[in-house]
Amino acid sequence: MTFLTDIATRLLHPAVQALLLGLLCLGLVLGRRPKAALAAALVAVAWVWIAATPAFALALRGRLATPPQTAHPRADAIVVLGGGVLPVRDWARTRTRAGRGLALWREGRASWVLVSGSDQAKPLAEGYAISGIPANRLLIDGASDNTHENARDSASLLAAHDVRSILLVTSSIHMRRAAASFRRQGLDVWPEPVPEAYGAMAGAPAWLPRRDALTLSARCLREYVALWVYHQRDWI
């Protein structure tokens, strides 16, 4: 399932889609269909150009991302979903998931910290322990491979400690699906979104392609598809 998910994720990247259109174009040329080949080539170039523009990328993000929260309650636990870059030198940086989770703990916002994700749960927990979070207040879900499993497995761990409410830390683009998945497990969720590093795009020419804009577009497109899939599977 992980392999198939990885393949599907790659196919949702505009650059990969343009490459596939390029292969189609080559096939049409070999099949002596020049007009169709030209049309495929134009679509491929136009799609990559549009997807790589700040205007398109930020529009996708604006309809998807959860904004920063103004209400900051106390909850039973802080749940940090693995992802992004871990702040190795400065665990107090709040513009990362790891840093935001640590800041919430230091503010006394919860009694427990749970880290979830098969690849990063253990490094996160080790970093938090070094940063002063007591080991007996750390919970680790190191087996989850996707957001649904994050929610399902974390809910089981939290229920064993009578946790009912959580401060959920993940990226702003991912928050809608993540929060819905945890609520589906019966938890009260307060979002603590971490914004993506897109500030450089804000002042850039809106319709000139940029690599970071293409990356953001790809992430947003993947998230829109994932939301649709989660609705179909009744996971949110």
Q: For the whole model, what pTM was predicted?
A: 0.89
HSE toward the beta carbon, residue 196, CA cutoff 13 A = 23
Look at residue 5 in the predicted model and tell me its pLDDT: 61
**Residue pLDDT, tens place only, 130-174:** 999 999 999 999 888 899 999 999 999 999 999 999 999 999 999
The yes-or-no verdict on residue 107 having pLDDT over 80 is: yes
Assess whether pLDDT exceeds 50 at residue 1.
no
CA proximity to 54, closest of 223, 200, 201: 201
pLDDT beyond 80 at 187: yes
CA distance 43 to 56: 16
Q: What's the pLDDT at 72?
A: 77
Which pLDDT score, from 0 to 100, does residue 24 have? 94
In this predicted structure, the answer to whether residue 36 has a pLDDT above a threshold of 50 is yes
Cα gap 18→48, rounded to integer Å: 7
CA distance linking residue 127 with residue 98, whole number of Å: 9
Mean pLDDT of the chain: 89
For range 20-42, the mean pLDDT? 93
Instruction: Give residue 194's Cα distance to chain centre.
Output: 10
Report pLDDT for 95.
75
Which domains are assigned to the chain? 2-64+208-232 (no CATH), 77-194 (3.40.50.620)
β-sheet with 165-171: strand ranges across: 138-141, 112-116, 77-81, 165-171, 188-194
pLDDT at 87 over 60: no
pLDDT bracket for residue 84 (50, 70, 90): low
Residue 219 — pLDDT band, cuts 50, 70, 90? very high
Closest CA to 25 of 14, 17, 33: 33
Q: Is the pLDDT of residue 124 over 70?
A: yes
Which pLDDT score is estimated for 58? 94
Query: φ and ψ at 59, to 5 degrees?
Result: -65, -45
